[in-house]
């Protein structure tokens, strides 16, 4: 059976450098999207629906058509993240392909093997047509499974030892990463070696998103 595989985008960079704005730009044509939204940022964007309970998430994610859902929850984040990852995997397999935004991964994963349903999603979700946008300020503190399985690296400016870590994991030259300015990023395909230096362009009078 022929399928269209999804892509795993590993997005790195310091706070307020443009990570979430770029992900939103990349997803502008997405019809089905779910965001892990611990900072309640995606839910404030036009067209996104905020859900706060597991019951609401389960009901919403079964929608076969257009949807943009942001899961905002408090308490112990790790079991809630595991839950949403399981829901996304199920929806991609049994309903329809979708895009998944995983914000602040260092808060819910560790540098060891990707845990639980997140690990299953990273290893098996792409062949279900799920696109994953894995976002972290500090990948040295987030899981190595996502970093190692990346289809595309989207690398913004980092600071200190983070530059060294990202350079080692992506094989991008350290001096190129250190030279990145605010809103600049490198998009790199580790298989084809295609590398592009880009910059987020804001229209005149437009301010950067709150997700920066």
Q: Tell me what pLDDT residue 144 has.
A: 87
Q: Is 206 a residue whose pLDDT tops 80? A: no
Task: Write down the domain spans for the chain.
Answer: 8-199
N-terminal to C-terminal alpha carbon distance within the chain: 40
Q: Which whole number is the average pLDDT over 85-104?
A: 95
Kindly indicate the confidence band of residue 101, based on its pLDDT and cuts at 50, 70 and 90: very high
Kindly indicate the confidence band of residue 3, based on its pLDDT and cuts at 50, 70 and 90: low
The least confident of 25-29, 158-162, 190-194 is: 158-162
pLDDT tens, 109-130?
988 877 799 999 999 999 999 9
**Distance between CA 194 and CA 149 in Å, rounded?**
17
Radius of gyration of the chain (CA): 16
pLDDT tens, 127-176?
999 999 999 999 989 888 899 899 999 999 998 889 999 999 999 999 99
The pTM is what? 0.92
Q: Does domain 8-199 have CATH number 3.40.50.300?
A: yes
Q: Is 20 a residue whose pLDDT tops 90? A: yes
Read out DSSP for the chain? Answer: -------EEEEE--TTSSHHHHHHHHTTT-SEEEEE-TTS-GGGSTT-EEE-SHHHHHHHHT--S-EEEEE---S-HHHHHHHHHHHHHHHHHHT---EEEE--GGGT--SSSPPHHHHHHHHHSGGGT-EEEEEES-GGGS-HHHHHH-SEEEEE---THHHHHHHHHH---HHHHHTPPTTEEEEE-TTT--EEEEE----TTPPPPTT-
Q: Tell me what pLDDT residue 202 has.
A: 61
Phi, psi of 39 (to 5 degrees): -100, 10
């Amino acid at each position: 059976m022929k399928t269209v595989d999804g892509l795993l985008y590993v997005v790195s960079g310091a706070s307020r450098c443009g990570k979430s704005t770029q992900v939103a730009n990349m997803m502008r044509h997405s019809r089905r999207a779910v965001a892990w939204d611990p900072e309640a940022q995606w839910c404030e964007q036009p067209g996104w629906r905020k859900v706060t309970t597991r019951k609401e998430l389960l009901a919403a994610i079964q929608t076969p058509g257009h949807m943009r859902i942001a899961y905002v929850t408090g308490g112990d984040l790790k079991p809630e993240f595991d839950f949403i990852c399981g829901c996304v995997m199920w929806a991609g397999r049994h309903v329809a392909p979708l895009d998944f935004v995983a914000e602040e991964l260092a808060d819910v994963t560790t540098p060891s093997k990707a845990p639980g349903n997140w690990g299953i999603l990273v290893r098996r979700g792409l062949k279900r047509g799920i696109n994953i946008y894995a976002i972290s300020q500090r990948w040295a503190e987030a899981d190595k499974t996502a970093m190692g399985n990346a289809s595309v690296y989207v690398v913004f400016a980092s600071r200190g030892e983070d530059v060294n870590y990202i350079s080692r994991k992506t094989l991008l030259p350290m001096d190129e990463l250190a030279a990145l300015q605010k809103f600049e990023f490198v998009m790199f395909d580790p298989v084809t070696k295609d590398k592009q230096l880009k910059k987020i362009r804001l229209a005149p009078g437009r301010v950067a998103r709150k997700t920066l």
